[in-house]
């Protein structure tokens, strides 16, 4: 059974004058357990809306979302979410930020401490646990935000442009760390990005959405083992194909990667 099932999801917002804004026309998507799927598509096509619906932070107008057997009815500990801006609590230290979910869940302190050390290590944040977010670089804040989500060991992680606000080098490092964690933990990830190379580098599958109101325009399976090289001919070729498809707008050509 797929880990995430997005079934006939449609979302219509209302603008301040009460007029409908169709964000998502209809999306059907199954994501397998342990799969890493990226969503790309033009700005405003409803990517964040879809993430918020899957996270239970926003209600769809029509359709259903399941995590395993369970319909999504609101936020859940099973689902970790990382946004573009790490959104750490400025008044809490890195340690307190990372442990926030564990404290709420009343996890015993010894277990919290053990997990904290593990994630400080994993995210290269050792030595910064008693600093406040304002004392960190953007990339470090983002790593702390990712640690805060992953430390809860969610079955599903949703990431909405998590690396878009960090510099190129940090972004590459974070991508490599994410691949390493995913290879190790094999949890299910739904990842939104504008960066096609990033999507191709990270994912098992890339989903291209159409302009708003969105439908799935095309899917690409990325059949390459990890760790991947950014300059790998196959990956470069798939990325250029996706870019070409986006700039074409209308999809006409067949390709080996289309599912």
CA atoms lying within 13 Å on the CB side of residue 3: 19
Cβ 234 to ligand ATP, closest distance in Å?
A: 27
Binding site partner of 212, from Mg ion, ligand ATP, none, Cβ cut-off 5-8 A by kind? ligand ATP
Cβ 162 to ligand ATP, closest distance in Å?
A: 12
Residue 239 · residue 228 · CB < 8 Å: no
Question: For residues 253 and 250, what is the distance between their CA atoms, to the nearest angstrom?
Answer: 9
Question: For residues 208 and 248, what is the distance between their CA atoms, to the nearest angstrom?
Answer: 13
Question: For residues 79 and 66, what is the distance between their CA atoms, to the nearest angstrom?
Answer: 12
When asked if residue 44 is in the footprint of ligand ATP (CB under 6 A), the reply is yes
Is 127 exposed, middle or buried (CB count within 10 Å of its CB: 0-12, 13-18, 19+)? exposed
When asked if residue 43 is in the footprint of ligand ATP (CB under 6 A), the reply is yes
Pick from 10, 38, 48, 193 the residue near Mg ion by CB under 5 A. Answer: 48
When asked if residue 13 is in the footprint of ligand ATP (CB under 6 A), the reply is yes
Hey, which residues between 175 and 214 contact ligand ATP (CB under 6 A)? 212
The per-type count for the chain, helices as H runs and strands as E runs, is 8, 10
Cβ 105 to Mg ion, closest distance in Å?
A: 28
> 183: closest CA among 163, 164, 204?
204
For ligand ATP, how many residues bind (rule: CB under 6 A)?
Answer: 12
Angle at 72 between CA 71 and CA 73, to 5 degrees: 110
Stretch that binds Mg ion, among 46-54, 71-79, 177-185, 229-237 (CB under 5 A): 46-54
When asked if residue 19 is in the footprint of ligand ATP (CB under 6 A), the reply is no
Question: For residues 71 and 56, what is the distance between their CA atoms, to the nearest angstrom?
Answer: 10
Cβ 30 to ligand ATP, closest distance in Å?
A: 21
When asked if residue 193 is in the footprint of Mg ion (CB under 5 A), the reply is no
Which residue number, 47 or 148, has a Cβ lying nearer to Mg ion?
Answer: 47
Which residues lie below 8 Å from residue 137, measured CB to CB, with a gap of 6+?
Answer: 170
Binding site partner of 13, from Mg ion, ligand ATP, none, Cβ cut-off 5-8 A by kind? ligand ATP
Cβ 24 to ligand ATP, closest distance in Å?
A: 8
Binding site for Mg ion (CB under 5 A): 47-48
Residue ranges in contact with ligand ATP by CB under 6 A:
13, 15, 21, 23, 43-49, 212
């Amino acid at each position: 059974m797929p880990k995430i099932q997005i079934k006939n999801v449609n979302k219509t917002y209302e603008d301040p004058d009460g007029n409908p804004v169709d964000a998502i026309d209809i999306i059907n998507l199954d994501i397998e357990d342990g799969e890493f799927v990226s969503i790309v598509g033009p700005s405003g096509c409803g990517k964040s809306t879809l993430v918020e619906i899957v996270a239970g932070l926003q209600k769809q107008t029509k359709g259903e979302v399941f995590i395993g057997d369970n319909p999504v009815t609101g936020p859940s500990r099973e689902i970790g979410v990382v946004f573009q801006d790490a959104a750490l609590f400025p008044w809490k230290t890195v340690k307190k930020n990372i442990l926030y979910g564990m404290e709420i869940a009343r996890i015993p302190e010894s277990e919290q401490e053990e997990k904290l050390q593990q994630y400080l290590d994993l995210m290269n944040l050792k030595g910064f646990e008693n600093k406040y977010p304002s004392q960190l670089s953007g990339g470090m804040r983002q790593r702390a935000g990712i640690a805060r989500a992953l430390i809860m060991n969610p079955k599903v992680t949703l990431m909405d442009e998590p690396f878009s606000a960090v510099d190129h080098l940090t972004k590459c490092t974070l991508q490599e760390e994410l691949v390493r964690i995913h290879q190790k933990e094999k949890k299910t990830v739904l990842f939104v990005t504008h960066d096609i190379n990033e999507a191709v580098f990270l994912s098992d599958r890339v989903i291209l959405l159409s302009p708003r109101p969105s439908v799935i325009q095309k899917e690409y399976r990325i059949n390459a083992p990890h760790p991947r090289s950014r300059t790998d001919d196959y990956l470069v070729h798939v990325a250029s194909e996706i870019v070409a498809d986006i700039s074409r707008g209308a999809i006409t050509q067949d390709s080996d990667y289309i599912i």
